[in-house]
Amino acid sequence: MRAQTNLVALTLALVLVTGATVVGVAVADGSLAEADRDPLDRHAATAVADRLVAADSPTTVRANALNASVVDGLNATRIETLAPPAEDAAIRVTLDGETVAARGAPDGGATVRRSVVVVSQSTSLQRTINVSRGSAVRIPQGVTRATVAVDPGANTTIRTVRANGRVLLYDGAGLDTNTTIRLSRYEPTTIRVDPGTNATGRVAVTYHRPLVDTRTLTVIADV
């Protein structure tokens, strides 16, 4: 009778150990499955996002500033050319939830977000300086290029055009030109001319004012 009690205890012990082993293996299985972070998905998504916002990318005007007209024409094939890791991957690129380019169903892949600005060009604006009144033109901040057309009236010599007090154009014999100038985009610029007394004529300043929109770029990729 005593020997049989021992046998029961032994069987129970073996069952318990078996149970513990099975539970241990199941937990290990779960952890292993959870540890799969799809590094190649993440790499593809990061590569696409980084290439799209890089300063030297054809889709940007500068780092993190997307060119709206190029972004409109974006598709999966062009993204693939920019970022080869996206080859054959299901991918979706969105700006504030609005799909820019998509191929396949990448749900379940890695997601990468970047804060970007989308820059679009407005139609050109023209401001005119009336030389006889000695007026000035103020170009708002954010404009990097402008065209200055100097058209002096009769018996007038315009020698200097200044931007924020610094000399922009100068010709001792008198300006009569149409020139593209580069401006700092960090501050507004005031364009003035130095006319003599009784001067007439006009100076036309033409520029495109960029429309800037802050958006979130989201890239989902599943290799």
- Residues recorded for the chain: 223
Q: Tell me how crowded residue 221 is: count the other CB atoms within 10 A of its CB.
A: 30
Q: Given the complex with other proteins, which of 25 and 211 has the nearer CB atom?
A: 25
What single letter denotes the amino acid at residue 108?
G
**Helix and strand counts by DSSP (H, E) for the chain:** 4, 12
Answer yes or no: are the C-beta atoms of 194 and 160 closer than 8 Å. yes
Q: Given the complex with other proteins, which of 20 and 167 has the nearer CB atom?
A: 20
What single letter denotes the amino acid at residue 45?
A
Binding mask 160-199 for other proteins (x = CB under 8 A): ----------------------------------------
Query: Nearest 10 degrees: CA dihedral of 105, 107, 109, 110?
Result: 120
Q: Given the complex with other proteins, which of 57 and 120 has the nearer CB atom?
A: 57
46 binds other proteins, rule: CB under 8 A: yes
User: Please, which of residues 86-145 interact with other proteins by CB under 8 A?
Assistant: 87
Binding stretches for other proteins (CB under 8 A): 3, 6-7, 10, 14, 17-18, 21, 25, 28, 32, 35-37, 39-40, 42-43, 46-48, 50-51, 54-57, 63, 82-85, 87
